[in-house]
Every structure is written in structure tokens, then in C-alpha cells.
Structure 1
Amino acid sequence: MKELFIKYINRECSEEEIQQIVSYFQHSDDFSEVPTIEAISQLLEDFPDMDEDSVSLIRSNILKIARDEKAVKIKRRRITFMFYAAAVFVGVVAMTYVFKESLFNPNSMKESVVESSQTIPGTDKATLTLEDGSQIALEKNKNFKTQNAVSNGETIVYTNSDKNKTAIVYNTLTIPRGGQFYVELSDGTKVWLNSASQLKYPVTFGDDKPRSVELLYGEAYFEVSPSSKHNGQGFSVFTASQEVKVLGTEFNIKAYSDEDYVYTTLVNGSIALNVENQTRELLPKQQSIHSSKYNVLKVVEADVYSEISWKNGLFSFKSKSLKEIMTVLSRWYDIDVIFEIKEPEKIMFNGVLKKNLSLEQMLEIINRTNLINAYEIENNTITIK
């Protein structure tokens, strides 16, 4: 299959080989052997723009996959829109024009969208709250600078110039719905913050002081500066219900206040999780699932690629219900979601899509499964029918 994908990217597939790819997506429940989007992205990084004939050929192949959709409609009630994977892996780096007129032809759509304007995806933005309570809006093309931090509106980077100060000064970074942001802490730790998240951290840590930050709510990916660079001082991340202790590693924490479970996913290194007098150590590619409400703490094998795809500009939905997907989209596009009937909430999907698609493009892909009757977008609210 990998060889076929590479041939497809290079426009060398015969009609029979294209049908093999289509058949693979139609008849497979497990897509773990499919080359990852990240791997295919690497192949495409230096890929030149296609000429119009090639674009038309790719588009017609994608439409052919879409037409075959009905042959794969229900398999264990798991509706897979992986038939769009061809569109995604061809377009994931620079070829988003695959999603243009033909794929989203208004004449072929259901009459389901009320507003004609496109709902744009989220962007880099945040609100920085200083120790004195003053707030600064961080957004593109807006520079900001203090003695310890500099921001270009899309990132903020701290330095450790005040490491000898005895008093610890805290900043808080708040990411709204429809936003994301990157912060580099004074110790060199890198943090990517997802939509609807808030992080509290010291402006400087100090050489001989414990390093700790607090994820007040939301989701964050941490690339921690190792303790060997900080006189052996470890690093801790606190949430409302747990503490994660690390020496130097990469991990993701998802702890939204409107969700019952906290998910901690280890990418590499090792971490110790402290929850209600229990300690669990995680190995790479493991995930802890914790809920104080349901008194649950367990460790499972994680699909790391899917868990951290948000940081890399992708939505990776693997066996996710429509309700879970709409929760993710509501944060990214800053919209509310109403299910007019409950049945569609439980429909399961698989798929990988770029975060820079408009909301309408996202919804139309889901709508093409034919398992929802229609949807409406009005007054910044989506109604699923």
C-alpha cells in the first residue's frame, strides 16, 4: 500500500491501482498500516504545484471515491470518511485546491447551510494577564515586550533574566475559543496551547527552585527542558485533579472543565502521575485516563498521532462520535452546537482533515455520509438535524 500511495502522489497509478486504493479504504476497519499523514507530508514538502490536467485527474479520482461512498455506508455502525484520505494526503501540505469547486459543487450539496458566508477557522491569539491584573491582547501583527518576554502576536518567549529574584511572579495565558498559541517559558520549556485553554506559569523559575506550571483548563502539549540543564530540578504540571512530574520529556494533557475525563498522553521520556494519593508511571505511547467524578484512573495504549495532531495543524478523528467531533469543532471555530435529535450524536467517524478548512467544508464532508438529514448555521450556532 505504501508503494501505491507513493505512486499516486507521483501521478503514476494506473486505473487498476487507483481502484486498489479505493477498495482498501472501502473494506478496511483498521487503517494502522496506512502511511501516516505526517509521513506523506514529508514526501510532499517539496512537491511542485500541479498543472491543471493533473489537478483535474486528482479531483476526478476523489469524486470517484466519493461516488463509491454508498458501498461503504455502514460497517459496525462506524461510518468512515477515510475515502477523503486521498484528498487529505494530496492536499495536506500545499494542495488545498483539491477541495475547490468540483468537490464542493453547490449543485451536488444538500440544501442545508443557511448562511452563505464561510466560517473561518481559528488563528493564533491569546490574552496575557500580568501579575498586576492588567491584560494584553496578543494577536497577529501586534508586538509586545516586557523585561522578560517578547511577543510577535503569534508566540511569546520568556527569558530568565530575573532568575535571582526571591519573589515568584506569575503570568497567565488565556486562549479563547477559535484560538491557539505557543509560549516558550523562561527555562526553555515549549508549550503549545489549544483552543479554550488557560495556563498559569512563573515569569522566571530561578536556578534552584522547583519548576511548576498550572494548566487551569483546556489542552496543552509540553516539550520540557530537561532537569540536567536546571541543577536537577524537575518539572511539574498541575491540573485541577492531578500532578504530572517530569524530568524532561514530551507529553500532552487534555483537561477541559466541561469534560469529565482528563487525558495525559506521553510521547517520549517518562512521567509520574499523582492522582488522589495514587502514583502511576507512564511509558512512551501510553495514556492515563482520569475522572474524579467517576473515580477512574487507568493507563492504556495511546494513538499518539491522533492525540497530538491538533498541534500539527490537523484534526485526526479515530473512532470518534459526532458529538465528540462537534465539541472539538465548536472550540476551534468558536461556535455552539445543537443536536435537534439525539441519534446522530452517537455516529462514529474516522478521518484526518486540515484545521485550516472552513467550517462549511468540514460540515459538508460529514454531511456526505448521509447519516444526518441536514445542518444549519445561523447566529453562530450549528443545528444538526
Structure 2
Amino acid sequence: MQKQAFQALLDKYLSGNCSAEERATLEMWYLTYEAKDLPPLSPAQLEEIRQSAAPHIQRTARRSWLRWAAAAAVLVAVAIGAYMYQANHDRGITVEQLAAGQDVAPGERRAFLTLANGRRIDLNEQQGGIAVDSLGVSYLDGTPVAGAAGTAETSALITMSTPKGGGYRVTLPDGTRVWLNAASSLRYPSRFAADHREVELTGEAFFEVQKVLNTANERIPFLVKTAHQTVRVLGTQFNVTAYTEETTEATTVVEGVVEVTATDAGKPARIIPGEQALVQDNNVSKHTANLEQVTAWKNGNFFFDNEPLETVMRKISTWYDVTVVFEDAIAGEKFYGIIAREKKLSQVLKMLEKTKTVQFMIKGNTIHIYKR
């Protein structure tokens, strides 16, 4: 409808001189115009509006324009309500609706092994972890891992990987225990060399390194290699975070002493309990660490201590195997809180929404984040 024609029809409408057909035309155009930026209605919804308008269209022209204005207002409310319902449906469901429906369960004990010959073995989700020794690979209760026979006969490389929403534990041939977080992998030999022990990590893991002596009664070093650093250990407990999507890798010492060297830099940084080495852009820096926060995932918790929303959502995405989309620019927001990782997704998101800074909408396997 052209602007001039619309104005002329509107003048007739307000003066009460419109025919029933003209009134209907104006009202339906108005409804469409008001909702032009919202998702389109379905044919069934449009028909419902037309049927709602029909009784009003059949009224005589002798009714005052005020009554027609009131009818138009009712129709506008109905239409906008229908449009908003459709818009919210397309946008997703709220955290409350998620909690009341098919909520997202937390991660589980899930992992798989990739043997040197490329064979993949899915590990038992009812077990807590595996152990590698001179007899091969078995679960922690002593049950052999099916398909892994013969791996101890040669020094073959084995990779244990966890998917998003997974986690597992492995005891290495030297007795070192490793807890592997979600979306991580650990590559290790079925037998360690006589003069050194070396593993490769992507993602996050907590290590309890067993002290091992050689024939000269000297400690055999333990090396953890990631994309951007090498961690050298003699016997200690420490956490390494080295996700490929993160720009910074972190090594935090709980017990003992480690040396951290950036891959292309020669001088190592020596860190002691309570300290953390950060590797970024081939530089190593030392900082005081919150050990409770760093090891919270191993102990079954999320611990957010002044963490940026991007980091918080990366952890949630990894543990619940969901995708995260930032619909609004939310810079500088920091979050505090502790919540068990055994909670369902809606419970974690509710805690974040209590800050009154963000709002979540969930559509399928994706969390959409809006600024409140």
C-alpha cells in the first residue's frame, strides 16, 4: 500500500467513513506492518486472525470509529502475541523450560583407546579407569580391556581420548596416575624407556607422578609435552591445561616442583606448590594459583573465581557437550561460584542467570547467550 493511499484510508477510518471492506483492509495491513520485523506467521495462524476479524468486518458503517479502533487494538494484541510466541519458539526455550523438559545431563565416564595399529576400543562407562602394566591393559578392578591384548609386548604408543561430556582415568606403566578431563587426549607408550618417561597431552589432565629411580639410584624424569610447552617433573602432583582452542596453556603445581619450558624457548621456569606457569606467545610467566579452583574439575566441581564468561562457557560447553553462541557482545563480565559437575545443565545456567547480567535461550544442542 502506497503512503498516500494509506494516509487517505486512515483519515476515512478515523472519521468513521470507511466501508467494512476498507476497515478490514486497513486493520489487516496494520497488523502486518506492526510485525514486519518478526518471524512470519504460519498459514494456520493467519487464518485464525482472519476469522477473529470477520465478525468485526460484518458490522455496519454506522458504528463509531472508536469501536473499530478498539477492535483493531484487540487484533493487534492477538497478532503481536502470536508473532512473539513464534519468535520465542524460533529463538529457543528458557532455562526454566529446559529444567521442566528434557534437561541436558552432565558428563559421564566416557573414553576410548586408539592402539598403535589404529584400532579403536570404546572403554566401559561403568568403570572408573584403566591401568597399563606388563600384562597389558585392564580396568581398575582387574578386568582385561577387550581388544587390547598384546599391547605390552612391545613399546607401542597408545592414545586415550575423552569426548565432550566425558572423562576417564589411567594408571601408566610406571604407576603414575592421570585424570583426563573432557575433550582431551593423552598419548603414552605401553612401556617407558629406561632413562626417561614421556607423554603427550591435548586438553586438560591432572597428574600424580610416581617417583622412579634408575640403576644408579637417580630419579628418572617425567615429561609432559603439549603444543606449546614441555613440563619436566621428578615426582609431584600438578595440573596441565592445554586445549587447542585456548591461546594460553597453564601448568599448576599442587605438590613438588616442575620446570616449564615454552616449545621454542630455551630457559625453563621453575614453579613450586601454589604457583602456576602460563605459556602464551612462546613466553612463560609465573603467577600465584588458586589450587582449589584449578583442581575443582578433578574433584567433581565447577569453580569460577573471577573468570570471564567466555572461559566459563567453554568449560560448560566441554562438559555438557553443547555448542555456545554469543548473540550479544558481553565483554568484561566476570563470574564467581562453585557448583557440582553432576548437576544438570539447567541448574548451572540458573546460577549464572542469577547474576542478572546474562540470559540463556536453548535451541536443540545450542545455548544462545544474550545480555540482560
TM-score (norm 2): 0.66
Offset, 1:150: 0.4
Within 2, Cα distance between the matches of 1:356 and 1:154?
27
Contact 1:171 1:201 in 2 (8 A): yes
Within 1, Cα distance between the matches of 2:228 and 2:341?
30
Structure 2 match to 1:218: 203
Q: Alignment partner of 1:312: what SS? A: coil
Structure 2 match to 1:123: 108
Task: Decide whether aligned partners of structure 1 residues 155 and 261 sit closer, same or farther in structure 2, where only a CA change above 3 A counts.
Answer: farther
Within 2, Cα distance between the matches of 1:154 and 1:369?
47
Offset, 1:205: 1.4
* Unmatched tracts of structure 1, length 5 or more: 1-109
Runs (4 or more) in structure 1 with deviation over 3 Å come to 110-115, 141-147, 152-157, 228-231
Q: Alignment partner of 2:296: what SS? A: helix
Offset, 1:240: 1.2
Structure 2 match to 1:75: none
Contact 1:220 1:252 in 2 (8 A): yes
Out of 286, 299, 302, the position equivalent to 1:315 is 302
Structure 2 match to 1:328: 315
Offset, 1:228: 3.4
Structure 1 residues 275-290: aligned runs within 5 Å: 275=262, 276-290=265-279
Task: Decide whether aligned partners of structure 1 residues 354 and 330 sit closer, same or farther in structure 2, where only a CA change above 3 A counts.
Answer: same
Which amino acid letter does the alignment assign opposite residue 139 of structure 2? S
Task: Decide whether aligned partners of structure 1 residues 271 and 144 sit closer, same or farther in structure 2, where only a CA change above 3 A counts.
Answer: closer
Q: Please list the CA deviations of residues 171-200 of structure 1 after superposition, one character each: whole Å capped at 9, or x if unmatched.
A: 000111000110000100000010110100
Which amino acid letter does the alignment assign opposite residue 244 of structure 1? V
* Unmatched tracts of structure 2, length 5 or more: 1-92
Task: Decide whether aligned partners of structure 1 residues 354 and 267 sit closer, same or farther in structure 2, where only a CA change above 3 A counts.
Answer: same
Q: How many correspondences in the alignment?
A: 266
Task: Decide whether aligned partners of structure 1 residues 332 and 153 sit closer, same or farther in structure 2, where only a CA change above 3 A counts.
Answer: farther
Within 2, Cα distance between the matches of 1:278 and 1:155?
45
Is residue 140 from structure 1 mapped to residue 125 from structure 2 by the alignment? Answer: yes
Is residue 183 from structure 1 mapped to residue 170 from structure 2 by the alignment? Answer: yes
Contact 1:242 1:273 in 2 (8 A): yes
Aligned-pair identity in percent equals 34
Moved more, 139-148 or 324-333: 139-148
Structure 2 match to 1:104: none
Structure 1 match to 2:345: 359
Structure 2 match to 1:21: none
Q: Please list the CA deviations of residues 123-142 of structure 1 after superposition, one character each: whole Å capped at 9, or x if unmatched.
A: 11101001111000113247
Which protein shows a greater Rg?
A: 2
TM-score (norm 1): 0.64
Offset, 1:332: 0.1
Contact 1:262 1:290 in 2 (8 A): yes
Q: Alignment partner of 1:346: what SS? A: coil
Structure 2 match to 1:42: none
Offset, 1:241: 1.4
Contact 1:313 1:355 in 2 (8 A): yes
Which amino acid letter does the alignment assign opposite residue 173 of structure 2? S
Q: Alignment partner of 2:352: what SS? A: helix
Out of 349, 365, 369, the position equivalent to 1:380 is 365
Q: Please list the CA deviations of residues 45-102 of structure 1 after superposition, one character each: whole Å capped at 9, or x if unmatched.
A: xxxxxxxxxxxxxxxxxxxxxxxxxxxxxxxxxxxxxxxxxxxxxxxxxxxxxxxxxx
Structure 1 match to 2:87: none
Which amino acid letter does the alignment assign opposite residue 182 of structure 2? S
Contact 1:154 1:181 in 2 (8 A): no
Task: Decide whether aligned partners of structure 1 residues 270 and 136 sit closer, same or farther in structure 2, where only a CA change above 3 A counts.
Answer: same
Which amino acid letter does the alignment assign opposite residue 138 of structure 2? V
Greater RCO, CA 8 A, separation 6+: 1
Structure 2 match to 1:371: 357
RMSD of aligned residue pairs (Cα, Å): 2.8
